[in-house]
Amino acid sequence: MSVEQKPGNGGLPAQMLENIAASFVDARIAAKGLDAYPGTVPADLATAYRIQDKAIELWDDSIGGWKVGRIPPAVEDQFGCDRLAGPIFSSTIMQQNGNDNFKMPVFSKGFAAVEAEFVAVIAKDAPSDKLHWERDEAESMITELRVGLEIASSPLGPINDLGPAVVASDFGNNAGLIVGPAIPGWQTRDLQSLSCATYIDGELVGEGGAFGLTGGVVRSVQFILELAASRGRPLQAGDFIATGQTTGIHEVGVGQSVRMPFADGNDGEVTCQIIAIAKA
């Protein structure tokens, strides 16, 4: 499915889009919660990405990668796409080695969850004028596939109940990423071996793997190569692409501990402790 979304609801004035973006950015900076959407809910992804782009311009950090999320099949036709995306900012990306146990901040007054991810590392800068990518071309842009943990968090408490466009409009509901070790031979391995699990406070809460991603990790990379270029933000060498949740979206609270082993730990694991985001 193409990344070309259906036309945006252009009836929303530019000032309203700017106000929504500013409201999200202000809430993130102040570490405060939002009980309701701060304006008219975008009806489509094109409008959502206009809000997201305005918020990116207001955010004082560079983009170090992108999270890609699956749009539920039941509403794919409505939104004209199978996936959505949001920026992952450089200062929120942690690379875990050995026994590192990061303290990962979330919006305690908003929404907070963790997701087990397979993280693609982009091999080289993508051409700025290339808007269509074949699957094999996208696969050639992956230099490594690494294990990872996405912090899905937003000041907006009901963000996941309001639909894909709302999720996309607030940085794709992302607040950070932990990147673990590279997976050896991932391209030639049995897909069933690319498994993972999520434990919260020592309790198993979800199991899955790359085999659960519709179209696989390559489809997610193909999608973001096209979407990012269409928005004038072509992927850069070293960008981390969180390709989609694989064990579920698991809500977390401050003080909880998270562990995600991949292939029963044979491909490594990522861990963290959840803390509250402080005011910037």
What is the full DSSP assignment across 229-280?
HHTT----TT-EEE---SS--EE--TT-EEEEEBGGGTT-EEEEEEEEPPP-
What's residue 2's pLDDT?
A: 46
Q: What are phi and psi of 161, to 5 degrees?
A: -90, -10
> Alpha-carbon distance 78 to 98, whole Å?
44
Q: Each residue of 177-234: pLDDT tens digit?
A: 999 999 999 999 999 999 999 999 999 999 999 999 999 999 999 999 999 999 999 9
Structural tokens at position 190:
């049995």
Q: Each residue of 117-155: pLDDT tens digit?
A: 999 999 999 999 999 999 999 999 999 999 999 999 999
Mean pLDDT of 90-116: 94
What is the full DSSP assignment across 140-158?
HTEEEEEEEEEEEEESBTT
Q: H helices of 109-255, where?
A: 135-140, 164-169, 216-230
What is the full DSSP assignment across 2-56?
-S-PPPP-TTS-HHHHHHHHHHHHHHHHHT--BSS-SSSPPSSHHHHHHHHHHHH
Q: Which residues lie closer than 8 Å to 53 by C-beta, 6 or more apart?
A: 231
Report the 10 Å Cβ neighbour count for 193.
17
Q: What are phi and psi of 77, to 5 degrees?
A: -65, -35
> Alpha-carbon distance 27 to 58, whole Å?
12
What's residue 218's pLDDT?
A: 98
Percent of the chain topping pLDDT 90: 92
6 band by pLDDT with thresholds 50, 70 and 90: very low
Q: Each residue of 42-89: pLDDT tens digit?
A: 999 999 999 999 999 999 999 999 999 999 999 999 999 999 999 999
CA 179 to chain centre: 13
274 band by pLDDT with thresholds 50, 70 and 90: very high
11 band by pLDDT with thresholds 50, 70 and 90: low
Structural tokens at position 8:
């945006």
Structural tokens at position 252:
């977390």
Report how far apart, in Å, the C-alpha atoms of 116 and of each of 23, 133, 144, 194, 279 are: 29, 26, 17, 12, 27
pLDDT at 3 over 90: no
Mean pLDDT of 233-260: 98
What's residue 79's pLDDT?
A: 96
Domains and CATH numbers, the chain: 14-276 (3.90.850.10)
The reported pTM is 0.95
User: In this structure, are residues 5 and 81 in contact, taking their beta carbons and an 8 Å threshold?
Assistant: yes
What's residue 271's pLDDT?
A: 96
Indicate if the alpha-carbon torsion angle 46, 110, 69, 181 is positive or negative: positive
> Alpha-carbon distance 169 to 52, whole Å?
5
Among candidate residues 68, 83, 157, the one with its CA nearest the CA of residue 120: 68
User: In this structure, are residues 180 and 148 in contact, taking their beta carbons and an 8 Å threshold?
Assistant: yes
